[in-house]
Structure 1
Amino acid sequence: MKKFLSTTGFVLACVAPSIAAHAAGTLNLYIWSGYIAPDLIAQFQQQSGIKVNIDNYDSEETLLAKLKQGGAGYDIAVTNQAMIPVFVREGLIDKIDAANIPGYGNITARFRKPQWDPTGEYSVPYLWGTMNFAVDTSVYSGDINTLKLLFNPPAPLQGKINMFDSADDAISLAAIEAGVPACSEDPKQMQKVLDVLKQQKPFVKTYSSKAGAIRESMVSGEIAMSAIWSGTAQRASDLKHSIRYAYPKEGSLAWVDNIVVPKGAPDIDNAKKFIAFLLTPKAAATNTNFLKYQNAVDGSNAFVADDVKRAPELTPPAGAKLVFKQTCSTAAIRLHDRVWTDLLK
């Protein structure tokens, strides 16, 4: 996994794409809260003259619903790899002719035509990482590298847990613990997933997928364990060194977030200019330094801070079992909805 972040072979020559100094218009971005370095927005606006407007969503389900409603005038959206085949199948995103966008050649080869976008027509990679949980080891000092800790916590952690409030993310983690496929269409298997989540529920203080709120709650001591993304965990541990990120022996969820253009985007030209900007090594490294997630841009490693490169949250240990999120069938999604509704009632 380390080679995802390091420069492979020779570094492709990369210069920032030429962006018109006085380009007109706006760019409407739909993204997770706090999921882009503020410096990048400022730099792009200064270089391009394009004003960037940002709206946030709190789950992939919210994003899907928004795109089904017509995209609400967004030029760019960021989504995980499992959603892209769904968006393509339902006609919710446009082809972007990625290979002709300046900077496309900077994308690490394995991410150019990935399994979720085999023709490379609909997306470019944004950031990637893992999704497990973190523990405040000043509260609990035992072995943390097992999902049993999250779903059947010992007394010191009970009532001090945050769990994702996204059905997809919570069920994906619980499915690993239950030993069943996250996209199973078998009601008996999904009942096992529901049992895992119900076992955990009495010990959960909050359900939230807001990265900033999770980080702040862990640092303040309001919660002592939370389902969390690797980058959020690193940012939390920078502020409170007793916070440690787990790599469960049962498996770690891995994800790749991607940039897409919603169907009917008001300004696809500005969208492509923004994508080209994000594909420059310095821009990609700025995001990695700020968000603590790996990017997929060759040459960016030269600009990534040493402490970020060394962080355990950024690079899974040798032998770590990675389980990449998959695109679920309609039948599996219906089961997800039933599990989640049953859990929260």
Structure 2
Amino acid sequence: MSKLIVAVGASLSLGLAAGVQAAEQLNVVSWSGYFTPQILEKFEKETGIKVTVDSYDSNETLLAKLKQGGAGYDVAIPSHQFVPILIQENLLERFDPAQQPYYANIVDNLKTPTWDPQGAYSVPFIWGTTSVVLDTAIYKGPTDSYDVLFHPPAELQGKINMFDSVSEVVDAASVYLDIPLCSEDPKQMQQVLTLLKAQKPFVKTYSSKAGSIRENLASGEVDMSMFWGGSSMRAREMKPTLKYLYPKEGVLAWVDNMVIPKGSRNPENAKKFIAFLSQPENSAMTQNFLKHQSPIKGVEPFLDASLKDAPELHIPEGTRVVFSKTCGEGSIRLADRLWTNLMR
């Protein structure tokens, strides 16, 4: 009898342990459509941790979410220029990833970068460029300048999407006008506003939602959009006449980073997730899905053949590449005022 009781007790405790394991959770907030279901399933299978993903469509939205208390998020994926802002606002947990073995996998020029010089708060997740994609079946003219976006020809007017992100739109306009990024000069910002106001009647939508932009480009709802390189490749796979531009003025570059928001309820699970995504095979799964560039060494054997020669992922030699910057308060205030004025 006592042996039976012990056996039942043991099976109950094992059942409870399994229940606890199944209840392990991780709440992630990221740019929309950043995770393939397969990678989340693989992580859950390896760790027993269930991942829930929420999304945002601009860094400004993420900043607002985290300032309001973070809604219990354990991992977020801000762009590099927002990392110092989140650190300064005391919205991130310090977890010193640079001390972890997986940090050795990161490509050398993204280790301890300017936005996180000690490698204390962030790990690169994916990087790439921001430019313009357009349908060459509709427009046959020159594609070597942002002119086509900011002074669109008749065939593209009313069929344009611009990002719904102050920083990205202002940065693109600044590169075109040869104005320094994060300008605090009201006259220079007035030039940017004048340019964007003149363009506005020809803009159909302001959206940063990658999935809807791709679908709208594929269906012909829009024929030109600001877009990211990897997202443009995914759109071209749906519609081969789409072309990603490398304007003579330059392209913007960005790095999206994994961070742990302050007050995370599952920080150990967050660290496991970040370590998991930093392994070459898993980072390659992300790159195969998103098509952007991986920041991890050793992904090549795991990449799809289509990525090897994709023009969207290979920046032509001589192209000016401009990394977005962390703007000061004066610049942010000017840009916000500009955006409010533009959206009236």
TM-score of Structure 1 vs Structure 2, range by shorter chain: over 0.9
Q: Retained in 2: the 8 A contact 1:101–1:272?
A: no
1:281 is matched with 280
1:224 is matched with 223
How many angstroms does 1:278 deviate by? 0.3
TM-score by length of 2: 0.92
Greater share of residues in helix: 2
How many angstroms does 1:289 deviate by? 0.6
Cα deviation per residue 1:177-225 (whole Å; 9 max; x = unaligned)? 1221220001001001111111110110111110000000000011110
Q: What amino acid sits opposite 1:118 in the alignment?
A: P
- Aligned: 1:33 with 2:32: yes
- Aligned: 1:211 with 2:199: no
2:9 is matched with none
Cα deviation per residue 1:277-319 (whole Å; 9 max; x = unaligned)? 0011110000101110111111111111121121010111111
2-structure distance, mates of 1:23, 1:260 = 24
Equivalent runs, 1:159-170 vs 2, <5 Å: 159-170=158-169
1:75 is matched with 74
Q: Retained in 1: the 8 A contact 2:107–2:296?
A: yes
Equivalent runs, 1:251-262 vs 2, <5 Å: 251-262=250-261
Q: Retained in 2: the 8 A contact 1:23–1:48?
A: no
1-structure distance, mates of 2:301, 2:64 = 39
Cα deviation per residue 1:125-179 (whole Å; 9 max; x = unaligned)? 0000000110100000112121010000111111110111111111111111122
1:308 is matched with 307
Q: What amino acid sits opposite 2:118 in the alignment?
A: T
What secondary structure does 2:311 align onto? Answer: coil
2-structure distance, mates of 1:27, 1:342 = 39
2:178 is matched with 179
- Aligned: 1:317 with 2:316: yes
1:53 is matched with 52
How many angstroms does 1:111 deviate by? 1.3
1:326 is matched with 325
1:250 is matched with 249
How many angstroms does 1:34 deviate by? 0.3
Q: Retained in 2: the 8 A contact 1:159–1:204?
A: yes
1:296 is matched with 295
* Aligned Cα root-mean-square deviation (Å): 1.2
2-structure distance, mates of 1:141, 1:279 = 42
TM-score by length of 1: 0.92
How many angstroms does 1:24 deviate by? 5.2
Equivalent runs, 1:267-278 vs 2, <5 Å: 267-278=266-277
1-structure distance, mates of 2:36, 2:317 = 29
Residue identity (%) = 52
Describe the shift of the 1:55–1:133 C-alpha distance in structure 2 as closer, same or farther (beyond 3 A): same
Computing the radius of gyration from Cα coordinates, the structure with the larger value is 2
Q: Retained in 2: the 8 A contact 1:160–1:203?
A: yes
1:99 is matched with 98
Q: Retained in 1: the 8 A contact 2:26–2:52?
A: yes
Runs of 4+ in 1 over 2 A off after TM superposition: 21-24, 99-102
